[in-house]
Each structure stands twice: as C-alpha cells, then as structure tokens.
Chains A and B, each alone.
Chain A
C-alpha cells in the first residue's frame, strides 16, 4: 500500500499534472479570439507551485524510496527537479508575448510544458527502468508537439516530424535495451542491475553489454551527443525559439540524470571508452559545425552538441573519480541557465514568423538595444567559459575532474575545443557591437515576461559564476547519496 509519504515523493509531479489539466480544461472553455496570456501566467504559477512542492519534498524525512522502489527522492533528484522546473518557469514567461505575436496563442502550449515537465522531473527520480521509459515518453511526446507549434511555418512542421520520427526510434532503442538488460540480470531496477553486474562471481552475459549499448544510444539521442546528433540543427532551427530553449536544457538535463544513475550505479569499465569516444566526437563535431553556421539557432544547436561533449568528459572521469558526478550536475545547471538566457534573447529578437534568426540580423544590436545586447553577450561569454560566469566554473569542474581521473588527453582535447569554440560565440558578439545596424528602427520593446526570463537566467548564471559553492556542495552531497 502506498503511504502518504509516497505521494509526497511525487508531489511536484502531481502538482504539475493537475495544473496542466486545469489549463487544458480552461482552454477548452475560453472563446477563440480571447488572449491566453492570463492562462500563461496561471501556468507560471503552476511551475512556481511545483518548485515549492520540491522544496517541501526536500525535507530529510521524505528522502528515500517510494512506491515500492520505483523511484527515489534524494539530493540528486531534488537538484534536477529544481533545474527542470526553473527552466519550465523561464520558458513559460518568455512565451507569454511570443505566442500571440506569432499568432499561435493557444493554451495547450502551457499545458504541454507543464506536462512535459512531469516527464522530465520523473526521469530524475525514477530508479525503475520501465518507469524511466514512461517518463521519457511523457517528456518526449510533449516536446514533439511543442516543436511543431508554429503550425503555419513549414520548417516548424518539418522540425516536429523529424524529431518525432527519429525520437521514436531512439526511445525504441532504449526500450529494447531495457528488455535485454532485464534478460541478462533479471531485473529492471537500477540498483538490482548494479548489484548483478558488479557481482564478480557472476559472469556478465554479452546480452548485458548489448542492452547497455542500446540504452546509451537512446539517451545519446536525447542529449544530442555525437554520433546521435544529426537531428539537432534541423529541429532547433525549425522549432519555436522558447521551445528550443526548453528542450535543449530540461529534457537534456533529465536524460543526463538518467545516464548518471545508469553509468555510475551500474559501474562497469566497458562504459569508459564508449563515453570517451562520444565525448571527443561531440566536442569536435559540435564546435567545428558551429563555426560554419549563419543561423543563430543552428549555431546554438551545434554548440549544444559541443556542450554535451564537455558533459560527457565529466562522465568519463566519473568512472574513476567521484568529482565527475558533481561536475556533471553542476554543468547541467549552468548550461541550463546560460542557454535558456540566450534563447530568451533570441525569442525577443526573432520577429514575427521568426524572420530574424540570421547572425547578420544581430548587426549593431549593441546600438539598437544596449541592454539586450549586453545580456546576450554575458550568456555567450558564459558559453565560452570566461571567468565570473557559471559557464566558467562548469568547465573548470569538468576539466579538474578529468585531470584528477588522469584523463590527460581528454582534457587537452577538451581545452583545445573550448578555445576553438570561443570563435563562433565571439563572432556573434562582434556582430552586435562592431557592425552597423541594418535598420534604423529601434528593437522591439522588451516585455515583462521575456524580461523576467532573461533576468532569472542572468542571475542564475552570475550566481553560479560568483559563488558556486552552495550548488557545488549540494551536488557533492547528492553524489554521496546516489552512491548507495
């Protein structure tokens, strides 16, 4: 019998689901021409309520397994809940004026973000692979729809279709992997699988390796790491900008959370080279690909591949040093902060029909709208990894974890990549400040919602860059708990 504590362990998910359903319901009652902005604000409060629920859930008495070892609440899951929910909040805020402007003012949008967050939240707390799969599907399906939300635009439909087809394949791989792993170890629980795999008396069946490889394929697709990255640029280019900000961070963070649970808890040395190669490929393909782009969204898509690579460096070092896990967690948080911020600015800049997404369109932004340009510059500097930004410490912890784990070559490749990577971010900064604007007209006024989203991301990035201690300590304690 589930106890009351069990329900509290899924309280944020309950809050989000109920809130999402209310939004759906009210949407059906509202007349067609009516503005949905109020509904959006209501949804934003839903995200806030879920954050409050997470804070409540974080009390020590609720830590532990719930629903018969289906999920587990610990510092690790709480951390990812906060990241995902803050991303959802920022996304809702930046969409408030974006949707009517693009003439797709529909309430489902907000409901989908809330319900998608249910999936992403659940991914970080689930320790039962079948539940992980269900959570993954919940989050994926909502992202498929959100990617195609600008229905009038062909590229948005293309983006949604591509994402859906390839994504379905990926989740199928994941499920197949789970099945094989079940066949090899007799369990779908992460901890039982770990116990079975680490039992030296027991010979690991080849089946287990294939299962693990398939699971990695499925998750690799979700986190957009090479060689499973091919979909990323097209999907990011076509999807609505706020949605890209959302799906490049929240589901990605959640997929990394699953990967951490799987890699670390089912520790097996054969992971190492798979991750090493994926990390190097992602960094190189991401950074070199980004240099060639002329569209800002495509550029940031390649940049997100590169950042997945840096994150995998932390994973590779997690195999023989404990700092790896906390470095990876810190990285997901700061990447979420800076990338959502960058996409908030892009949302503001995009214009009706998302016409202005070329790098050329940012020429002279420093003159037309100094504050917006300064904010985007800050996020880009953070993506480069300049000190005083969250991005710097993220890279710093990743590379120190790698060096502590004696991964000298991986560090050198990573460091060289982050040097190369500075070029394309810099190019955008140069456009904004050193070129003349193409039009004399002032940039559109920054509305409250977008402004709030930018402010939240800015504060988070700055906080992680100035005083990273609090978050780092939390990730370290999460590591201690995740390790059984």
Chain B
C-alpha cells in the first residue's frame, strides 16, 4: 500500500485518534492496568502516524492557498462562516511531532505516580493531546480559538485533581489567567470576522495585506494587542508569568511536561503565526518594547531560578528565561533569529520536558522537590546522574547539544537586529549555566548528608526507557540540526518574505503620503 494516499486525511487522523482513544477509555471497565496499556498504545500509534508528516512533507506540494501542506478545508458551520481548515508548514510540522512525541512518555511517567482515578487521568491526557495538536494545525481562526480554549480545561483539571498540595489554587490561577487573556483574542477575532465575513487565516492575511479590511486609526494596534495579550500570557512573557511557577510546581509530572513542552509553545507559535502573520506592520512597530520584555524575562527568569530552593520551581523559572530567548528570536525579524526561535521551541520541549521527567523520578521516591533534601545522589544512582547531566548540558546549550544551535542562532539574529539586544541577552546564557550546574552540584555531588538518599534505587527499566530517548534526541538535534532546520528555514523565509513585502509596502505608503501632503 502506498502510504501517500493518507496525505489528505493524515492531519485529521493524527489529531482525533487520541480523542477516540479517550472515548474508548471512558467505555472501558475501570481496570487500571489495562487502561494504562491502552493509553500507551493509543499515544504510541498517534506518534507513529505523525511521523508520516515529516516523511512525506517535501513530497507534498503546498496547495494553492499558500505555503501549507496536507491541507484540508471542509465547511463546518455556514453562519458564522466556519471551516474545518487545517494544514501545516515547516514550523507547525515539528510542533505537532513534538506533541505526539511527548505524550507516550507522559503516559509512561504517570504509570505508577498516578494511582487514584487512573481512568479520568488518561481520558484527560488524551483529550489534551487532541486539543494541543489541533492548535498547531488549525488555519481557521475560529477553529484555532476552539482548540486553544479546549486545551485549557483538561490541563486545569489535570493540575487541580492530580497535582500536589496547593493544586486547586494553581489550577484556578492557571485557568483564570489564560481565560481572561484569551477572551480579548476572541474579541479581536470576532472583529476581524465582522469586517471580513471570514475566519480563514490565509484569506484574512491576504485581505489585511492588501488593505481590503479597513483598519482605521489605532484599530490595528488594538487588534494586535488583543492577540498579543493571549499569547504573552501563555508564553509567558514577563510580567505575565506569575501563573507559571505555581502551575508547574503543583502539576503532576506529566502535566508539567506538557505544560512546558507544548502549552508554552502554543503562545510562541501564536506570536509567530498570527500576531506577525496578520499584523506585520504593527509587529514591527511594537518590536522594541516586546524585545525589551523578552530580555527582562531572560535575565529575571534566570536570576530567580538561581535562588530557588525548590528544583521544580527552578526549572519553571528557567522556562521563563528560555522562552524569553524564543520571543527575542521571533521579534528580531531576522532569518537566523526566527530559525533559532523555532528550533529553540523544539529544544525547550525536549530538554525541559526531560528535566521535569527527571525530577518526577526522584519525586516518586522521596516526595519532595527541595534541593536541600538531596545531595550526593551520584553514588546511589549513577545512571540517573548521567542522564541528568546530559539533559542539563542540553539545557544550558553546550556545543554539539541541541540548546547550542537554538541559542546561537537567536543571539546572532539579535546581534543583526541591534547589537545591544545580543549583548544583554547573551549574559542569560551564562546565568543558565550557573543555575543548572549549581543545581547539579548540590544534588549529585558531595557526601550523602541525608540518610534517606543512601539507598535510593537507580532509575528502573521503565524510567530509563523514558529518559534515554530524550538524551538521544538532544544529541541528535545538536549534531544533525539540518534534519529539522531545512523545513523550518523554508517556512521562516516564507514568513519573512511576506514581512518584508509588507513593511516595504507600508514604508512606501508613508512616502506616498508625505509626497501628497
């Protein structure tokens, strides 16, 4: 059988297979063991299906509407004019694969640590997977908003039901922050629809670029801000980050992994695809202060991470810092910066996802994240220590590891945009080495001070089979970045082309206006 016959349906299949799995689990009898295996099977098959995407990606010619592949466009609701329009480019391609890659490991990581209400947990996890994939493939703004909100409920429930002590507080905070921010995006989407009669991203992009939608006065700015707020909270960009440490610390391991690995990427993806895609002129105009916020986030996140006594909080703040790099890369509006930003999104998913999984391993044994409770773990847990070191090096961006490629590209993009951006942001790299290595030193080296750590069992087969793939990925992405970068670069170049076209057109417009005056 020729697998390319799957092409028109592959996105839909990949997206909704987990949902189907969730429905089946709901029907299955409440036997925890079977449910775990079933969820693992569903998520693994989803991952295999999603591998179809990169394999055939270059053979599928982008369709007429633009630079998107595997497109499918069906009418869903006629009034308002909502389409089931999905498709991916080189950027969303890898984010989809990242999502499907992470979920099976989340299932494995929850194998033992979730023992109460197992059925509900896996139902929520699989629904969440469908929603997350949906966010990355939707090309209809309404569909996008639908999936965007749909990620919120399962995630809030995963935090609130299966989390640690202050879980309810964290879940409500997470829900309210994101919900309140995203209703402004909804208002902006409705405004666009009211003006144009379409939710289609490609059409809207065209209509705005050609000026067919009138954006009088500050309208464009307000719309830009409506989208920006929703994305900035999700990223989270400083000063909208305060929900993140709470949510991360209280979430169960699988929740933290997906939160850091995928949900934060939804924010940066939205900035790249929608904020910049729809309002290029506004994005350019507002870039200086957004970059300033991103750089503050890089330094602030790193400094706060440095002083955390709690390992999970440390990693959470390091996310604020890493995501600051991504936003910096995006708003540098250089090819290198944007390439690096997308690559760094994937890196962060792999390395921070792995860090949360690693923390989950010791948490399962000791039920604490306090750094001072540990120390000298390298002796009882040599394999675990090795894996932790590999991921730490990946996270701080050692050459030959994935983090290096992303940070290097982002910083070179930042230097091209304005040297001062690059100079300040580069200090963030030093800080990240500082807090990560210091964490490593305090946890793994030295004498065992706490007798509870002396007999800690090393990572078992299940845990090792979860962690090794991440270490391998981190190395592979560092040594062969071009495997990923080719398709990313092509799409980024496409975005920048339209960008330059737009900014050129707007500067031309300004000149024409001054001449006419």
Of the residues A388, A434, A435, A469, contact of B79 by C-beta under 8 Å: A469
Q: Main SS of the interface on chain B?
A: helix
For residue B270, give the distance in angstroms from its CB to the closest CB of chain A: 16
Q: What CA separation (Å) do A412 and B153 show in the bound complex?
A: 24
List the B side residues contacting A419 at CB < 8 Å: 176, 179-180, 183
Q: In the bound complex, do residue A381 and residue B183 qualify as a contact, i.e. CB atoms below 8 Å apart?
A: no
If A387-B150, A400-B80, A434-B171 touch, does A418 touch B193 (CB 8 Å cutoff)?
Answer: no
Q: What CA separation (Å) do A416 and B179 show in the bound complex?
A: 10
Q: What CA separation (Å) do A411 and B190 show in the bound complex?
A: 10
Q: In the bound complex, do residue A386 and residue B153 qualify as a contact, i.e. CB atoms below 8 Å apart?
A: yes
Q: Give the interface segment out of A63-71, A144-152, A243-251, A420-428.
A: A420-428
Name the CB-closest residue of B to A403.
Answer: B194
Q: What CA separation (Å) do A423 and B171 show in the bound complex?
A: 11
Interface string of A376-400 (1 = CB under 8 A from B): 0000010010111000000011011
Q: In the bound complex, do residue A411 and residue B160 qualify as a contact, i.e. CB atoms below 8 Å apart?
A: no
Total residues of chain A contacting the partner, CB 8 A: 34
Q: In the bound complex, do residue B168 and residue A434 qualify as a contact, i.e. CB atoms below 8 Å apart?
A: yes
Name the CB-closest residue of B to A414.
Answer: B187
List the A side residues contacting B157 at CB < 8 Å: 433
Task: Tell me the chain B residues, 133-168 only, with Cβ under 8 Å from chain A.
Answer: 145-146, 149-150, 153, 156-157, 160-161, 167-168
For residue B42, give the distance in angstroms from its CB to the closest CB of chain A: 21
B5 at the interface (CB under 8 A from A): no
Q: In the bound complex, do residue A434 and residue B161 qualify as a contact, i.e. CB atoms below 8 Å apart?
A: yes
Chain B interface residue number, banded: 20 to 34
List the B side residues contacting A433 at CB < 8 Å: 157, 160-161
Q: What CA separation (Å) do A396 and B191 show in the bound complex?
A: 11
Of the residues B172, B187, B191, contact of A427 by C-beta under 8 Å: B172
If A387-B150, A411-B187, A419-B180 touch, does A404 touch B194 (CB 8 Å cutoff)?
Answer: yes
Name the CB-closest residue of B to A426.
Answer: B175
Q: In the bound complex, do residue B80 and residue A430 qualify as a contact, i.e. CB atoms below 8 Å apart?
A: no
Q: In the bound complex, do residue A400 and residue B183 qualify as a contact, i.e. CB atoms below 8 Å apart?
A: no
Of the residues A403, A418, A423, A468, contact of B190 by C-beta under 8 Å: A403
Q: In the bound complex, do residue B183 and residue A467 qualify as a contact, i.e. CB atoms below 8 Å apart?
A: no
For residue B172, give the distance in angstroms from its CB to the closest CB of chain A: 6
If A381-B153, A469-B78 touch, does A426 touch B194 (CB 8 Å cutoff)?
Answer: no
List the A side residues contacting B186 at CB < 8 Å: 396, 399, 415
B184 at the interface (CB under 8 A from A): yes
List the A side residues contacting B79 at CB < 8 Å: 468-469, 472-473, 476
Of the residues A422, A430, A468, contact of B179 by C-beta under 8 Å: A422
Of the residues A387, A396, A412, A415, contact of B80 by C-beta under 8 Å: A396
Q: In the bound complex, do residue A434 and residue B78 qualify as a contact, i.e. CB atoms below 8 Å apart?
A: no
If A387-B150, A422-B175 touch, does A415 touch B145 (CB 8 Å cutoff)?
Answer: no
For residue A410, give the distance in angstroms from its CB to the closest CB of chain B: 11
For residue A467, give the distance in angstroms from its CB to the closest CB of chain B: 7
- Which of A367, A403, A434, A472 is packed against the most chain B CB atoms within 10 Å? A434
Q: In the bound complex, do residue A387 and residue B149 qualify as a contact, i.e. CB atoms below 8 Å apart?
A: yes
If A396-B80, A426-B175 touch, does A415 touch B153 (CB 8 Å cutoff)?
Answer: no
Which residues of B pack against A, CB within 8 Å? Answer: 77-80, 117, 120, 145-146, 149-150, 153, 156-157, 160-161, 167-168, 171-172, 175-176, 179-180, 183-184, 186-187, 190-191, 193-194
Which residues of A pack against B, CB within 8 Å? Answer: 366-367, 381, 384, 386-388, 396-397, 399-400, 403-404, 411-412, 415-416, 418-420, 422-423, 426-427, 430, 433-435, 467-469, 472-473, 476
Rank and list the top 3 A-B pairs by shortest CB-CB distance, nearest first. A419-B180, A387-B146, A434-B160
A-B CB contact pairs (8 Å), 18 listed: A387-B150, A388-B146, A388-B150, A400-B80, A400-B193, A400-B194, A403-B190, A412-B187, A419-B180, A420-B180, A422-B175, A422-B180, A427-B172, A430-B160, A435-B168, A467-B77, A468-B79, A469-B77
